[in-house]
Amino acid sequence: MIKKNQSGIWRSVRVAAYGLTLSSVLLVSSVYAGPPTAEVNTTGMAVTDDTVTVGILHSLTGTMAISETGAQQAEKLAIEQINAQGGVLGRKIKIIQEDGASDWPTFAEKAKKLLEDNHVAAIFGCWTSASRKAVLPVLERDNGLLYYPTFYEGLEQSKNVIYTGQEATQQVFAGLDWVAKNKHAKTFYLIGSDYIWPRTVMKLARKYIETVLHGKIVGEEYAALGSTQFGSTINKIRLKKPDVIYAAVVGGSNVAWFKQLKAAGITGKKQTLLTLSVTEDEAQGIGGENLLGFYSAMKYFQSLDTPENKTFVADFKKMWGANAPIGDVTQAAYEGPWLWKKAVEMAGSFDTDKVVKAEESGKITFDAPEGMVYLEPNHHLKTRLRIGEWRADGQADIVYTSPYIMPNPFPKGY
């Protein structure tokens, strides 16, 4: 039989061994069931004695689905693993999933639903900066918590967001340093999709190239999100002959962009191209033959040769299939539920304000597939940058790994 004491914290389990009399009942164990719900949930979240509910909010449809599918898969893997270990504060995690549909107002609407109707304890989601900016007012109004996995432009630090991807000084500046030094680059052609992240990133890149690297921008263009026509831009690139094409084209547009580059004879054998927005997720749709010899600047590549990453890759593919790609944002998304678990357990509560206080302690670390990461008080991770050179099989050879880079979302002069 099972009995619970007055505090509700411990359950004594008595089991009658086969063939023994009632007087021989054996006390097997005492199992931790977690602190009382009234103590860990004072703000009306969806927390019971046995479960805690979270939201997953990514684009499952539309132009961004090619990039966001892996993120939601990684979040589900992390949650399954956490549940197998007993959950968070003795409670198993339940998921409510919503589709942002590659539409920023839809992201805001779904975030409102998750927080106000479903009362989730946290949201793991978004990909583009436009989607994050759309949900931010909802998060701050309802005091919700978002774990955001994408590399982004920086210039933001919200109490209600944990940024598990890199900000610009970690990805952009370190990547430009590498390409200037190793490819002797002096001239750059900038191209991105037309929304907040590429435009802000390129503004930062332009100033860094001109004032720090003393290089020259020979062209700068933006294509509408979802665009598939790059002929005019490619003609300009052929005319300008830059040392480096510096790209931040996102989502499904990447397929057309790289195929058209190859068709125009612009390949990794002839032209240095460094992209901020192609991971293994996009590479699967683009085709490795169209990426061969080009470079990406990311904190993680699936090919990373460490025991921790090999275990992660095996677990991910066991859950999602042998051909499931694992890219930078996918891995950063995997970090979100684990970091949340650590913060909740440090706080001893699911309440947002208490969890945020734990997150800002500077004491939360996670031995992630990419290596150890450190959650800094500014809600960003101290991590490293890697440069990957794309192979024909859609995987990347890591040709550079930086030292650890402290997050600096508000660099002086930018």
Least-confidence region, from 36-40, 257-261, 294-298, 410-414: 410-414
For residue 16, pLDDT beyond 90: no
Is residue 318, in this structure, part of any structural domain at all? yes
Query: What's the number of domains the chain is made of?
Result: 2
CA–CA separation, 113 vs 118, rounded Å? 6
CATH (domain of 194): 3.40.50.2300
In a domain, 258, yes or no: yes
Are residue 94 and residue 196 in the same domain, yes or no?
no
- In angstroms, the Cα distances linking 414 to 169, 206, 215, 408 are 10, 10, 17, 11
Q: Compare 66 and 89 and report the one with higher pLDDT.
A: 89
Q: How confident is the model at residue 81 (pLDDT cuts 50, 70, 90)?
A: very high
Query: What does the buried/exposed string (b/e) look like for 331-362 if buried means 16 or more CB atoms within 10 Å of the residue's CB?
Result: bbbbbbbbbbbbbbebbebbbbebbbebbbee
- CA nearest neighbour of 69 among 247, 192, 251, 194: 251
Residue 228 parent element (H or E): none
Has residue 10 been placed in a domain? no
Give me the pLDDT at residue 10, please: 31
In DSSP terms, 51 is beta-bridged to 92
For residue 8, pLDDT beyond 90? no
CA atoms within 13 A on the CB side of 41: 21
Does pLDDT of 7 surpass 70?
A: no
Does 186 score more than 50 pLDDT?
yes
Q: What is the pLDDT of residue 414?
A: 85
For the chain, give the mean pLDDT: 92
Q: What pLDDT score was predicted for residue 11?
A: 31
Burial class (CB in 10 A: 0-12, 13-18, 19+), 402: middle
Rounded average pLDDT over 196-203: 95
Alpha-carbon distances, residue 230 vs 193, 273, 285 (angstroms)? 11, 15, 17
Residues 325 and 232 in one domain: no
Residue 25 domain-assigned (yes or no):
no
Residues 191 and 259 occupy one common structural domain: yes
In a domain, 6, yes or no: no
Q: Is residue 18 part of a domain?
A: no
Shared domain check, 174 and 115: no
For residue 21, is pLDDT > 50?
Answer: no
Per residue in 320-345, pLDDT (tens digit) is 999 999 999 999 999 999 999 999 99
Mean pLDDT value across residues 93-99: 98
The pLDDT confidence band at residue 34, using thresholds 50, 70 and 90, is confident
Model confidence at 33, in pLDDT bands (50, 70, 90)?
Answer: low
Contact between residue 370 and residue 112 where contact means Cβ atoms under 8 Å apart:
no
Would residue 379 count as lying in a domain? yes
Over 90: is that where the pLDDT of 5 sits?
A: no
User: Do 198 and 136 share a structural domain?
Assistant: no
Residue 46 has, within 13 A of its CA and on its CB side, a CA count of 21
User: Of all residues in the chain, what percent carry a pLDDT higher than 70?
Assistant: 92
- The per-residue pLDDT for range 211-263, each reduced to its tens digit, is 999 999 999 999 999 999 999 999 999 999 999 999 999 988 999 999 999 99
275/324 same-domain check: no
Pick the range with the lowest mean pLDDT from 6-15, 175-184, 358-367.
6-15
- Report the pLDDT averaged over residues 351-378: 98
Q: Distance between CA 80 and CA 91 in Å, rounded?
A: 12
Give ∠ CA 103-105-111 in degrees, rounded to 5: 105
| Per-residue model confidence (pLDDT) at position 224 | 95
Specify whether the CB–CB gap between 401 and 384 falls below 8 A: yes
The residue to which tokens 């583009």 are assigned: 128
Residues 395 and 267 in one domain: yes
**pLDDT tens digits along 230-243:** 999 999 999 999 99
* pLDDT given for residue 273 in this prediction: 98
136 and 182 in a single domain? The answer is no
Least confident of 5-19, 91-105, 223-237, 349-363: 5-19
Which residues are within 8 A (CB) of 263 and not within 5 positions of it... i.e. 6 or more apart?
none
Residues 114 and 231 in one domain: no
Which domain covers residue 321, as residue numbers?
A: 40-166+305-383
Do the bridges between strand 161-163 and strand 146-148 make them parallel or antiparallel, or are there none, so unpaired?
parallel
Q: Is 199 found in the same domain as 87?
A: no
Residue 78 has pLDDT above 60, yes or no: yes
pLDDT at 350 over 60: yes
pTM above 0.95, yes or no: no
pLDDT tens by residue, 279-324: 999 999 999 999 999 999 999 999 999 999 999 999 999 999 999 9
Q: Which of 1-15, 57-71, 84-98, 136-150 has the lowest mean pLDDT?
A: 1-15
**Range among 23-27, 31-35, 43-47 with highest mean pLDDT value:** 43-47
Q: Residue 14: inside a domain, yes or no?
A: no
CB 43 within 8 A of CB 351: yes
In this structure, are 90 and 116 located in the same domain?
yes
d(CA 295, CA 305): 18
Q: What is the DSSP string of 155-180?
A: ----TTEEE-S--HIIIIIHHHHHHH
